[in-house]
Amino acid sequence: MFVYTIRRLIQTIPVLIGVTLVVFLMMHLIPGDPAQIMAGERADAETVELTRDRLGLNDPLPVQYGSFVWNAVQGDLGNSIRSGRDVSAEIVPRFWVTVELAVYSTILSVFMGLIAGIISATRRNSISDMVIMVVALFGLSMPNFWLGLMLIQYIGLTVGWIPVSGWGGAAVILPVITLGTAGAAIIARMTRSSMLEVIHQDYIRTARAKGVKERYVIYKHALRNALIPVVTVVGLQFGVLLGGAVLTETVFAINGLGRFVVEGINQRDFPIVQGSVLVLALLFVLVNFIVDISYRLLNKRIELD
């Protein structure tokens, strides 16, 4: 386990470098001058040029990128071009909002997806199986922003007691449903496929031949062995949820990290975008590491090293 952990940490380094490099280059390809935005539309050329010098935007791109990486390694993500505040201080509160949204949505996805997938697999080719698969296909086809707007229109505004914006209390219901629906559909399909493969194995037939109760066979023997590919999908879905949080937070006016990134892009605030994406990339790498560790917990025969 120790050797595996060290190896995974080493593999994380080029991934993070690649992420920061791509984001750095893309931000510099976006039209617009952050110095002009900061100085104001009516600022003269000299003021804009002084602002560029102060922000280090006149330095060569390799120097700017190297400076960002060196400071990031030391825990310094720089200061916001827009507000002048420390980027880390602005990211932390928004980061936890996005993490809560992603975690709650993942829990909903896993809960709904596992139940739907198990029912669909144990009742293969039945009406319930067909209905679940059709609903799952519908869930996969719906854009997050469209579902969010429909929930606001037909549930939030109709019911009245469910807030349609912000975060906290009952306000988490609609965003979590919006973000968790697509994940639930994918997990349901994967659970069904994996369960159908497992329940036809010899050890399942043997358990049934010994008179083991069907519920015990399904949930103890079949589900546990069918969970490994499902866990992989859950880990990947978490990353998708972090990406989907950008649209969901915008639709529901949630002050999370995804919306923060969008605002940073619109304002050409390089430090905010680079720092936020770096934090999200670290979180995604951590989640995938936890997923890999869970393989060992589900099946003792799997050797991580």
- pLDDT above 70 coverage of the chain, percent: 92
What is the pLDDT at residue 59?
A: 79
H-state helical runs in the chain = 2-29, 34-39, 45-55, 61-73, 87-122, 127-141, 144-151, 157-159, 173-198, 202-209, 214-216, 223-251, 257-266, 270-298
pTM of the predicted model as reported, rounded to 2 decimal places:
0.79
pLDDT per residue over 213-261, tens digit each?
A: 777 777 777 777 777 788 888 877 777 777 667 788 888 888 888 888 8
pLDDT confidence tier of residue 301, bands split at 50, 70 and 90: low
Spatial CB neighbours of 151, under 8 Å, sequence gap ≥ 6: 174, 177, 178
What is the pLDDT at residue 123?
A: 84
What is the pLDDT at residue 300?
A: 58
pLDDT per residue over 152-164, tens digit each?
A: 888 887 777 788 8
What is the pLDDT at residue 299?
A: 60
Location of structure tokens 């497992």: 198
pLDDT of 6 above 70: yes
Q: Domain spanning 96-298 has what CATH number? A: 1.10.3720.10
* Start and end residues for every CATH 1.10.3720.10 domain found in the chain: 96-298
pLDDT per residue over 161-213, tens digit each?
A: 788 888 878 888 889 988 888 888 888 888 888 888 888 777 777 877 877 77
What's the whole-number mean pLDDT along residues 13-25? 82
Spatial CB neighbours of 138, under 8 Å, sequence gap ≥ 6: 185
pLDDT of 75 above 70: yes
- pLDDT above 90 coverage of the chain, percent: 0
Highest mean pLDDT among 14-18, 51-55, 223-227 belongs to: 14-18
Task: Tell me the C-alpha distance between 90 and 291, whole Å.
Answer: 29
Residue 299, SS3? coil
What is the pLDDT at residue 218?
A: 78
pLDDT confidence tier of residue 304, bands split at 50, 70 and 90: low
What string of DSSP letters covers 97-157?
HHHHHHHHHHHHHHHHHHHHHHHHHHTTTSHHHHHHHHHHHHHHHS-HHHHHHHHIIIIIH
Spatial CB neighbours of 110, under 8 Å, sequence gap ≥ 6: 184, 187, 234
How far separated are the first and last CA of the chain, in Å rounded?
A: 6
Residue 31, SS3? coil
pLDDT confidence tier of residue 10, bands split at 50, 70 and 90: confident
The residues that bridge with 79 in the sheet, in sequence order, are: 86
What's the whole-number mean pLDDT along residues 94-102? 87
Highest mean pLDDT among 5-14, 38-47, 118-127 belongs to: 118-127
Task: Tell me the C-alpha distance between 177 and 140, whole Å.
Answer: 13
Location of structure tokens 């999200």: 280
pLDDT confidence tier of residue 90, bands split at 50, 70 and 90: confident
